Structure 1
């Protein structure tokens, strides 16, 4: 697995698709801050997106999509003078039908959200800007447009298994959007995500994620990127905010904490699986990073639901 696959798998990433929305004429719909990550694609027409805290609305054209990565209220509208209606009652009134606002049907949106397990905010979402906008005319966005077209076809045609297929396609779309954003605006992300945009740091990250239990040294990780130890250490710290071995420790603690939350393996078994020679070595590192012992952490999280934005044991960034 590469780092992005690793994190998305650890977070239990799932897509939840809505029925979409049609609109026409002068209209505006106000949405409450979403759980997880909200996405919408404009399949027909044009409108504007106004997100709480942003200085100006974002113009959306046919084929555009956006991800709202932070829990912020937002409004979709065609006319800045239109009085916004709340999305909740609009969807309730639609029942099993397609929500509609305004006059006519010149605008059609398809959307949904991505939900995650524990640690989503610390591991992934905090490293992203509040909104990622992917214009339809972006040359590299062809894969995103393909996924969106397939999702639209599944939702319209309702072939057997269409919901499951559409949800998996939405996760594919998420990965493509993250790839495109890293390629287009690497300076707009932070932490390990920023490291993926640097080929030298990315090589070290892939090595760590491929074999987290290996007793890595900076020299070994530097060889993966074909650079010196000092070069790797400097570039890793500059982009990720941590040294390579500090990152390794925090990733091991993430893996250990996930096992403590979801399984019943002994501490000794978990310690060996994530790269520590003994239960005491794991306990020392775990308490240093999280402030609590593995046993305390397991007791605190035993039977607890996986909150989408709950604080977790460690952060793969400085601070």
Structure 2
């Protein structure tokens, strides 16, 4: 499994398609704060999106979509001067395959959904993303457009198993948007996600994720990247924001924390699974990174502000 798939699996990603919005005339809708990631895809017309705390609204046109990753309140509108109605007041109007019709519809159509993540690990992904991601209509995004169109059909023409199909399509949309984000990364973007855009760093991170229990050294990791040890160490830190060995340690502790929550394995067994021969050395590393001993974390008494890979 590749690194991005690893992280999304660890985060217990769940996808949901909440429905469509068909509007006409002048309109504006406000949404409150939210957990996880929200997405909207515009199938017809265009709209403005304003996120609380962001300086300027963003215009989204037909064939484009946007994701919101910081949970901030936002509003979408045909015109930012229009007074917004609360989205919750529109829920009783859901009809025609979970599509809300507002002001007669016919001029604007969008599909919305959201992704939930495991609360205590969500920042692994969320802190890599800006408050709003605008994905424009480009020739290379035909698969994204196909997924969105299929979601529209599942909403318009409900079929047996339609909810599962729509959720899987939504997951594909998220992964495709993350790929777009990688290809368009800025020079000052730092973190494990952005390092995946570099083939050599991706090979190293994949190797760490595939074998967290291996006896990795800086020299062995540099070999995975086919680079000298010094050049590799500098490049890795530049892209990820951590040294290779620090990233490895934090990934191991993230895996260990997940097993402490979800398995009955002993602390010693979990330590061996992530590369530590003794329980003592594992416990020392875990406490340093996660800010509490593994036995305390496993009993559900873990502290709130622990560290994760950058």
TM-score of the aligned structures, taking structure 1 as reference length: 0.92
Matched, 1:313 2:306: yes
Whether contact under 8 Å (1:261, 1:301) holds in the other structure is no
Whether contact under 8 Å (1:140, 1:180) holds in the other structure is no
Match of 2:134 in 1: 133
Match of 1:111 in 2: 112
Instruction: Classify the secondary structure of the residue corresponding to 2:23.
Output: strand
Match of 1:58 in 2: 58
Q: What is the CA distance between 1:238 and its match in structure 2? A: 1.1
Q: Whole-Å Cα distance in 2 between the matches of residues 296 and 117 of structure 1?
A: 19
Q: Whole-Å Cα distance in 2 between the matches of residues 81 and 313 of structure 1?
A: 43
Written as runs of structure 1 = structure 2, the 5 A alignment for 1:1-319 is 1-94=1-94, 98-136=99-137, 138-187=138-187, 189-300=189-300, 311=304, 313-317=306-310
Sort the Cα spacing of 1:312 and 1:209 in 2 relative to 1 into closer, same or farther, 3 A.
farther
Whether contact under 8 Å (1:41, 1:109) holds in the other structure is yes
Q: Whole-Å Cα distance in 2 between the matches of residues 151 and 97 of structure 1?
A: 12
Instruction: Classify the secondary structure of the residue corresponding to 1:20.
Output: strand
* Corresponding residue pairs, total: 309
Q: Whole-Å Cα distance in 2 between the matches of residues 4 and 97 of structure 1?
A: 32
Q: Whole-Å Cα distance in 2 between the matches of residues 198 and 287 of structure 1?
A: 32
Task: Give CA deviations for 1:43-62 in whole Å, capped at 9, x if unaligned.
Answer: 11111111112221111111
Q: What is the CA distance between 1:104 and its match in structure 2? A: 3.7
Whether contact under 8 Å (1:34, 1:73) holds in the other structure is yes
Instruction: Classify the secondary structure of the residue corresponding to 1:231.
Output: helix
Sort the Cα spacing of 1:112 and 1:311 in 2 relative to 1 into closer, same or farther, 3 A.
farther
5+ residue gaps, structure 2, are none
Task: Give CA deviations for 1:254-309 in whole Å, capped at 9, x if unaligned.
Answer: 0000011111111111111111112112101001111210011111259xxxxxxx
Whether contact under 8 Å (1:26, 1:103) holds in the other structure is no
Q: What is the CA distance between 1:122 and its match in structure 2? A: 2.3
Q: Whole-Å Cα distance in 1 between the matches of residues 269 and 257 of structure 2?
A: 13
Task: Give CA deviations for 1:218-245 in whole Å, capped at 9, x if unaligned.
Answer: 1111111111000110011111111101
Sort the Cα spacing of 1:94 and 1:155 in 2 relative to 1 into closer, same or farther, 3 A.
closer
Q: Whole-Å Cα distance in 1 between the matches of residues 285 and 158 of structure 2?
A: 51
5+ residue gaps, structure 1, are 303-309
Whether contact under 8 Å (2:93, 2:101) holds in the other structure is no
Q: Whole-Å Cα distance in 1 between the matches of residues 70 and 210 of structure 2?
A: 29
Instruction: Classify the secondary structure of the residue corresponding to 1:160.
Output: coil
Sort the Cα spacing of 1:211 and 1:301 in 2 relative to 1 into closer, same or farther, 3 A.
same
Q: Whole-Å Cα distance in 2 between the matches of residues 283 and 173 of structure 1?
A: 39
Q: CA RMSD in A?
A: 1.8
Task: Give CA deviations for 1:139-191 in whole Å, capped at 9, x if unaligned.
Answer: 32222112112222222222221110110111111111101110022446431
Q: What is the CA distance between 1:68 and its match in structure 2? A: 0.4
Instruction: Classify the secondary structure of the residue corresponding to 1:300.
Output: coil
Match of 1:306 in 2: none
Q: Whole-Å Cα distance in 1 between the matches of residues 62 and 36 of structure 2?
A: 25
